[in-house]
Structure 1
Amino acid sequence: MEILGFIGALMMGLTLGLIGGGGSILTVPILVYLFSVDTVLATAYSLFIVGLTSLIGSFSHISQRNVHWRTAIVFGIPSIISVYLTRMYFVPLIPEQILTVGSFSLTKPILILIFFAVLMVFASYTMIRECKKCKEKQVGEIEYNYPLILLEGLVVGTITGLVGAGGGFLIIPALVILAKLPMKQAVGTSLVIIALKSLIGFVGDIKGSEAINWHFLGNFSVIAIIGIVLGSMLSKKVSDEKLKPAFGYFVLVMGLYIITKELFFHHA
């Protein structure tokens, strides 16, 4: 199972490098199901892995001037604050045992996984459908809808804090539609935002660092980084118009599998 898990880490990085988002949605399921990592700890691991991988992936975009720093700051600050507060204060407040109905017990790990799976289904929809607004080349001066950008930053930060996903599938459309960024700049800016908010959110878990297996975390991260470097190289040759919907269907199947398993076969 570990070999499959590390192959999954490579694929996660590869996808992130190829299409600029979406790959991080697989990190928690890989950690939970293939490495048997505790669900809450897996969300913390995911923040570190996704943050570090996105940081490495952003370097090429920075060198190509595909990062719009003003937008990164406007979107990033509320996102960073909310992800840190969520990890530090909200996640620890969720009770281990939430409710019991008959033989089914809704626990904290099951709740997080189900919420994560619902997020995966939503992510798959955004990847499968044709987003014409995202494909249009934007021209002219960049515009801002400040209230919506700030609100989106808070929402994405909270989701990231809860489930450990980078949220690129939410950030990129927001940057294109709300900030009127060209697609390439949206991808580059998104990677910078994901890196900052994920790594700072991980700091909220450092207080429980005795539970963190740094050796394992390092190995997984290195393989994911190799994947994002390879993905960035392949992205110049492979069109994401077919790749993104195909990956979307895969994420959809994974999300439905997690919901079914946790709700109906958890005790099997």
Structure 2
Amino acid sequence: MTALILALVAGAVVGLALGGLGGGGSVLAVPALIYLLHFSPVAATTASLLIVTATSLTALVTHTRAGNVRWKQGAAFAAAGLIPAALAGAAAARLPQGVLTAAFAVLAGVVAVTMLRPRPAAESEEAARPARPGPAAVTGAGLGGVTGLLGVGGGFLVVPALVNVLGFRMRAAIGTSLLVIAVNSLAALTARGDSFGGLDWAVVAPFTAAAVLGAWDGKRLAAKVSGTVLQRAFAVALLAVAVFMLVDAVM
């Protein structure tokens, strides 16, 4: 199987996960790039940021038309993560490959376990609560750092943060998270300018295109299959990937 076919298949899977679950699919991009397409961890996280940016901006257009994006609050939340995202993005290129892989594996494992747990009522379509500026700034900065360091969009972290910290309703949280993800990813990419030269664009370009198209199909899939079933299947697969990556990093 050629690298092009692998890139298209992997990109489609990532897009389906993003479209079907509203976040988390980008966590599959890094291990796919490392183990299927033989990217280094630094190159994989940089390429993942490109993929995340493209898919987030595409989905942001749709959610904007649906009125699900709170631009003012989302921009303020994203602004808190700009500097941490840029600093973490620059630091990622200087970390040992094994450390970067292990850190990503731990994050993926945490995400998988979180997704397997029942969702509390606080994450449902409930009444919005007043925003708390201090915790919002701290949370935004932390999420920006995670995005910059590990090359993940962090929708699985941003959405709960917007609900629990800023008091967003779920639909607004999902739509606004795309703005936060896109801004943080772009900031991290700016700090990783030196890494672009080592990317295999013949692989990254089709991977990104397939992810964008797959995200549209993921939305249709979500309408036909139970969201709980999709989430649990994704979480089990992600947990297996996390264990494999952690073992590979420490061996």
Unmatched tracts of structure 2, length 5 or more: none
- Evaluate the alpha carbon distance shift between residue 113 and residue 256 of structure 1 in structure 2; reply closer, same or farther with a 3 A threshold: same
Partner of 2:63: 61
Q: Calculate percent identity across the aligned residue pairs.
A: 32
After TM superposition, what 4+ stretches of structure 1 lie above 4 angstroms from structure 2?
A: none
Deviations 1:72-95 (A, max 9, x none): 12210011221112223x23443x
**Following the alignment from structure 1 to structure 2, what is the Cα–Cα distance between the partners of residues 263 and 209?**
28
Letter in 1 for 2:184: K
Gap regions ≥5 residues in structure 1: 95-107
> What SS does the corresponding residue of 1:37 show, helix, strand or coil?
coil
Q: Indicate how the Cα distance of structure 1 residues 251 and 208 shifts in structure 2: closer, same or farther if over 3 A, else same.
A: closer
53-62 vs 24-33, greater mean Cα deviation: 53-62
Code of the residue aligned with 2:92 in structure 1: it is V
CA contact (8 A) 1:138 1:180 kept: no
Helix, strand or coil: the match of 1:33? helix
Equivalence map 1:1-268=2 (5 Å): 2=3, 3-88=5-90, 90-94=91-95, 108-139=96-127, 142-264=129-251
Distance 2:66 2:239 in 1: 33
CA distance, structure 2, for counterparts of residue 41 and residue 243 of structure 1: 29
1: distance between equivalents of 2:193 and 2:250? 31
Q: What's the TM-score once normalised by structure 2's chain length?
A: 0.93
Structure number having the greater helix percentage: 2
Q: Distance in 2 between matches of 1:159 and 1:69?
A: 22
Question: 2 CA distance for matches of 1:81 and 1:118?
Answer: 24
The separation in 2 between residues aligned to 1:258 and 1:172, in whole angstroms, is 25
* TM-score normalised by structure 1 residue count: 0.87
Q: Bigger radius of gyration, 1 or 2?
A: 1
CA contact (8 A) 2:12 2:214 kept: yes
Name the Cα RMSD after superposition: 1.7
Judge conservation of contact 1:55–1:192 (CA < 8 Å) in 2: yes
Maintained 8 Å contact 2:10/2:207:
no
Secondary structure of the equivalent of 2:223? coil
Deviations 1:209-233 (A, max 9, x none): 3223333322111011111111123
Tell me what 1:104 maps to.
Answer: none
Secondary structure of 2:167's counterpart equals coil
SS of 1:236 mapped into structure 2: helix
2:132 maps to amino acid:
N
Contact 1:125/1:248 (8 A) holds in 2 = yes
Partners of 1:237 and 1:60 lie apart in 2 by 19
| Structure 1 residues 241 and 78: CA distance shift in structure 2, 3 A | same
Task: State the aligned residue count.
Answer: 249
Segment drifting more, 155-164 vs 4-13: 4-13
